[in-house]
Structure 1
């Protein structure tokens, strides 16, 4: 090990973070290598899906690298990383949950659309076409909200930023849209 490697190992996490903020790739790699195992174990306590946890960690670090110019020097780096990962995992979980809810809504409608003659494939295609038509008939803001939340899998927080509305208004907007879809699907 040469002198420069010894010097590198002697750097505090804060010094490495500060170098990372200035665009030093080696510092970025060091932060990733030092924290990945612990972040992974922590993530697995939140959601027992290795692939999702690995994706969340990788996406966290990709975003850190891309937004390093906007980041500040922070004193508690590890809590920052843990909190950021926790938020990502919860957002991913909520996106999957919303997707499941929409699929269940579709499946309920598809099941009620099967007629006794066995034309279920025809009815399923017809029902999916009807749902797409109904989504397209929603008021523009409701349609945008449904598309972002259920089809693009954005978190409510990100969708509210995109739509430039507060998150509470977005919840109401999506709720009204889903109620309208349910009502129209029953007709």
Structure 2
């Protein structure tokens, strides 16, 4: 099918309930979106489900959806988000991670660069922590002190140490999860 309408017209018609607009968007983007997901997941069924769900949600939210970027960018972002969510929830085959490990081993230069990126991300995450939280994290992870030793050194309770460390680790892990998913995605392309 030849794409005759621009994205803003398609979105306007979609919002008005025009099924032809949805079909036009689907025909225009589904194959590239599928390949984007497949390059990472390597699971045809999972990728088909992601694309189907994306277009179903697009139709269901047609009257309320606010696309501030291009339609293409919106769709690709939605696919990447759903791929990352599948990876995070463990619905993807473990072979994906085995394959990523093999690629990293084969591409040591890329792996070293990725490792540096992860280290920088950890450093940025730690630098962004509140002062006390950062101090507790560094004493725990860099100086290998126990919770009791940290509490004694900082003159705070061990419960406060535990709470601050929980906050720090949660933020660092969240930062690493994003980086790890991006690295796996980049390695798959």
Larger relative CO (CA 8 A, sep 6+): 1 or 2?
Answer: 2
**What TM-score do the two structures reach when normalised by structure 1?**
0.46
